[in-house]
Chains A and B, each alone.
Chain A
Amino acid sequence: MIDPVNPSVESPEYPPELARLPPGRHGLPREFVARNQRERLIAGLAEAVAENGYAGTTIAHITRHAAVSRRTFYEHFGSKDECFVAAYDTVMAELRQRVDDAFNEEGEWPQAVRAGIAAMLDFLTAEPHLARLSMVEALVAGPVVIERYDAAIQGLIPYFQAGRKGRSTKVLAGLSSSTEEALVGGMVSLISRRIFADRTGELESLLPDLVEFTLTPYLGSAEAAKVARAG
């Protein structure tokens, strides 16, 4: 059993270029500036991608949105791809943190799943640009990001696996080793199809359907529907 609080899902290593510290770092103020510039570049990329799509985004777009020089860009990132990877990781870390907090706040597993899904939908609804960046543009941003995308989705599996605990042998017999994988795949597919179609506003109304869908294998349809409609 994987602990849902500390899932042992490995996050891919940063490419060495990203781990490289900005040059000329001699003390806190400078570091603060560098950090600040990096964050601005990441935010700038998110805006530029929302405007132009990943393929249509240039470094000039990013630096304009971030209001920094081209030289500063290259002090932080070797390429547009690298900047995207950093942005993707930032968005996913934030999303994951929110899901985790919401999940852990609930005592009962079915309610925890509901809270976790609700937190994910809230974040994606409130941040439509970041939703698009992480669920749509990520898929066209090259193999490094796709690998991270896959890992992020598979990283949701432990939250559902936690639902096996304490189930009857009869229920457990009905679950296969890939049940959770299919559940997260189905859930993400519903979410990303709506973001892809620019229907991010519909995400929040998916909550009851997603809760019922993901709880059914563990609780049965009737009980899953009850949790889905409560709250």
Chain B
Amino acid sequence: MADIVKRAGIARNTFYENFSSKEDCFLAAQQFAMSAALRRVVDAAGEIDDWPHRVRAGLSAFLSYIAEEPTLARTCMVDALAAAPSSVRYYEESLQAFVSLFRLGRDVSPHGQELPETLEEALIGGVFWILYQRLLLDDPDQLGGLLPELVEFTLTPYLGAESAHAVASGG
């Protein structure tokens, strides 16, 4: 707590006027970062009609946000897991925010009707796990290079490996 108020350059009282506890403050930081990241994703993805490229643009925006704010991203994706249950729950819920973006892929997939119900949840869990592992290594510069593999990973179940690869390496 002393670390937070010292870094923020505020009085302890001011802290308690804004947050009821350290956990409460942590959750607010997490919500701030997640909604900023999501806004970036929506802005980037919304401009594109073609779904596979929309996913690419969305993932790209997400990665660049993390690369710009590595400390905040680390707090949200790494430390959140070790924080209070409210933070773990929020982390899990934020994953869900990406579900709808991916779910649109069922409309363009030749076998969209047959895809497993939990596919989007699993894909997003996989993407978050990769990002979490890279953030653990404390090497945010590496993140940009992940774009092709994450695009390929997420598009493959909908489009097949070949088309996914083309979008991933295309541009």
Contacts and interface: CB of A to CB of B under 8 A. Distances in A.
Interface residues of A, number: 43
Interface of B: 81-85, 88-89, 92, 95, 111, 114-119, 121-130, 132-133, 136, 146, 148-150, 152-153, 156-157, 160-162, 164-165
Main secondary structure of the interface of B (DSSP, over half): helix
B136 A174 contact: no
A178 to B, nearest CB: 5
A230 interface: no
Given A209-B116, A225-B114, A139 B153 contact: no
A190 to B, nearest CB: 5
A193 to B, nearest CB: 6
Interface in A182-231: 182-190, 193, 196, 206, 208-210, 212-213, 216-217, 220-222, 225, 228
Contact of A185 (B111, B129, B157, B165): B129
Interface in A139-171: 139-140, 142-143, 146, 150, 153-154, 170-171
Contacts of A140: 82-85, 88
Contacts of B127: 182, 185
Contact of A193 (B117, B121, B126, B157): B121
Given A187-B122, A209-B119, A216-B157, A222 B111 contact: yes
Contact of B153 (A170, A171, A176, A210): A176
A209 B165 contact: no
Contacts, number: 120
Given A173-B165, A174-B165, A209 B118 contact: yes
Nearest to A220: B160
Q: Specify which of B84, B125, B130, B156 lies most central, judged by the most chain A CB atoms within 10 Å of its CB.
A: B125
Given A176-B153, A177-B149, A189-B95, A208 B126 contact: no
26 contacts: A140-B84, A140-B85, A142-B82, A146-B81, A150-B136, A153-B129, A173-B165, A178-B153, A181-B130, A181-B133, A182-B149, A186-B121, A186-B126, A189-B128, A193-B121, A196-B92, A209-B116, A210-B118, A210-B122, A213-B116, A213-B119, A213-B122, A217-B156, A217-B161, A220-B160, A222-B111
Interface of A: 53, 136, 139-140, 142-143, 146, 150, 153-154, 170-171, 173-174, 176-179, 181-190, 193, 196, 206, 208-210, 212-213, 216-217, 220-222, 225, 228
Given A146-B81, A193-B92, A225-B114, A188 B156 contact: no
A154 B130 CA distance: 11
Given A139-B82, A142-B82, A176-B152, A186 B117 contact: no
A181 to B, nearest CB: 6
B114 to A, nearest CB: 6
A225 B129 CA distance: 24
A209 B119 CA distance: 7
B81 to A, nearest CB: 5
Contact of A146 (B82, B88, B146): B82
A221 B115 CA distance: 8
